[in-house]
């Protein structure tokens, strides 16, 4: 006489195996979700930094004399670059300051106001444009008109009137110590309005 079906012991073992499989799938899906979120954050950070560098390059490339007639570059150091550019297309040259503040790259803007026009530093609006910078070095390097691609940057203190090319470089990492590797960004801008040839 043959019996069809499962014994109680077979049923318990089958339920245990099923529960183990469900537990493993749940645990793995949680890990995959965490990995997907982390990669998404890295990609968003990369895209945001790419956009910042595109904007910075456009603003630097189109710099010109201030609305008061001052030279297009106010100050240049390895951690800060201050220049004049009409970044909002209103016909007035804003004072634009990109600067490193420990682990962030920030942008400060002063719109000229008053009659006669002035650049009041008390009206500067600043915002973080890149977060999670790594390392402690400078962001900006400057080159004169003799630059062919292999020379070292100008030594500090930099003569603002000799600058013809600006390079900005930085590395950022939203989660230091874990992969993927930090993102490196660099842009080299030829100052078209200051060319002498």
Q: 169: which DSSP letter?
A: E
C-alpha 175/C-alpha 131 separation (Å) is 11
Residue 28: pLDDT band with limits 50, 70, 90: low
Q: Is the overall model pTM greater than 0.95, yes or no?
A: no
Calculate the alpha carbon distances from 9 to 5, 6, 13, 17 in Å. Answer: 12, 8, 6, 12
Q: Is 12 helix (H, G, I), strand (E, B) or coil?
A: helix
* Helix, strand, coil percent values for the chain (each to nearest 5): 30, 25, 40
Pairing of strands 125-130, 140-143: unpaired
- Inform me whether the pLDDT recorded for 37 exceeds 70: no
Contact 94, 112 (CB under 8 A): yes
The percentage of the chain sitting over the pLDDT mark of 70, rounded to a whole number, equals 79
Q: How far apart are CA 140 and CA 123, in angstroms?
A: 25
For residue 49, which of 190, 165, 142, 187 has the smallest C-alpha distance?
Answer: 187
Per residue in 51-64, pLDDT (tens digit) is 888 999 999 999 99
Is the pLDDT confidence value at 80 over 80? yes
User: From CA 78, how far away is CA 92, in angstroms rounded?
Assistant: 27
Q: Which of 84, 82, 81, 89 is nearest to 66 (CA)?
A: 84
CB 93 within 8 A of CB 71: no
**Per-residue pLDDT tens digits for 138-195:** 899 999 988 888 889 999 899 999 999 999 998 887 666 666 667 788 889 998 877 6
């Amino acid at each position: 006489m043959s019996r069809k079906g499962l014994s109680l012991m077979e049923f318990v073992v089958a339920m245990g195996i099923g529960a183990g499989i469900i537990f493993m799938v749940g645990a793995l899906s949680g890990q995959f979700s965490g990995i997907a979120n982390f990669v998404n954050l890295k990609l968003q950070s990369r895209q945001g930094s790419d956009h910042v560098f595109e904007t910075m390059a456009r603003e630097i490339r189109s710099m010109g004399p201030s609305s008061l007639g001052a030279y297009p570059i106010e100050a240049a150091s390895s951690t800060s670059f201050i220049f004049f550019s009409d970044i909002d297309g209103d016909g007035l040259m804003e004072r634009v300051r990109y600067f490193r503040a420990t682990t962030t790259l920030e942008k400060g803007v002063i719109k000229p106001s008053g009659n006669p026009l002035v650049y009041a530093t008390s009206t500067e609006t600043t915002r973080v444009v890149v977060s999670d910078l790594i390392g402690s070095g400078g962001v900006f390097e400057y080159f004169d008109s003799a630059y062919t691609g292999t020379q070292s940057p100008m030594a500090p203190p930099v003569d603002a009137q000799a600058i013809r090319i600006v390079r900005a470089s930085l590395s950022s990492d939203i989660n230091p110590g874990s992969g993927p590797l930090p993102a490196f960004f660099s842009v080299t801008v030829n100052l078209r309005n200051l060319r002498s040839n």
